[in-house]
Chain A
Amino acid sequence: MRLRRHDLHTLTGVYALDAVDGTERDLFEHHLRRCRPCGNEVRGLAETATELAMAAALPPPPRVKERVLAATAVTRQLPPAVDRPGRIQRWMPRRAGRPAVRPSWTPRLAAAVAVVSLAVAVVLGAVGLRARQALDSARAQDQAIAAVLAAPDARIMSRATTDGGTATVVVSRAEGKVVFTTAGLPRLPASKVYELWLMGPPKIRRAGLLPAPAAGRTAPVLASGLAAGDSVGVTVEPAGGTSRPTTAPIVVMALRA
Chain B
Amino acid sequence: MRAARSGPGLEEGRDQGLDELLGRVARGDQHAFEAVYDRLAGPAYGLIRNVVRDPAQSEEVTQEALLEVWRAASRFDPARGSAATWVMTIAHRRAVDRVRSAAAAAEREHRSAQPLAADDEVAETAVANLDAERVRRCLGGLTELQRESITLAYYGGYTYPEVAGLLHTALGTVKTRIRDGLIRLRDCMGVSW
Contact = CB atoms under 8 A, between A and B. Distances in A.
A78 B70 CA distance: 9
Interface string B96-127: 11001000000000000001110001100110
Interface in B46-102: 46-47, 49-50, 59, 62-63, 66-68, 70-75, 80-82, 84-85, 88-94, 96-97, 100
A47 B175 contact: no
Interface string A39-66: 0100111111111111111111101110
Contact of B84 (A16, A50, A56): A50
A97 to B, nearest CB: 8
Given A18-B96, A19-B158, A80-B75, A91 B81 contact: yes
Q: Chain B: interface secondary structure?
A: helix
B21 interface: no
Contacts of A75: 67, 70-71
A203 interface: no
Interface residues of A, number: 58
Given A47-B81, A56-B117, A18 B125 contact: no
B74 A17 contact: no
Contacts, number: 230
B133 to A, nearest CB: 8
A76 B89 CA distance: 21
A96 B98 CA distance: 9
A14 B152 CA distance: 11
Contacts of B37: 65, 68-69
Contacts of B91: 53
A173 B70 CA distance: 46
B93 A54 contact: no
A61 B175 CA distance: 36
Chain B interface size, as a band, is 35 or more
B143 interface: no
B139 to A, nearest CB: 8
26 contacts: A13-B180, A14-B159, A16-B182, A17-B160, A18-B96, A47-B2, A48-B189, A49-B182, A52-B155, A53-B154, A55-B131, A55-B135, A57-B129, A59-B41, A59-B42, A59-B125, A60-B62, A68-B37, A71-B70, A72-B67, A77-B70, A79-B74, A80-B75, A91-B80, A93-B72, A93-B89
Interface of A: 2, 4-6, 10-14, 16-21, 40, 43-61, 63-65, 67-69, 71-73, 75-81, 89, 91-93, 95-97
Closest 4 CB pairs of A and B: A13-B179, A58-B46, A55-B135, A60-B45
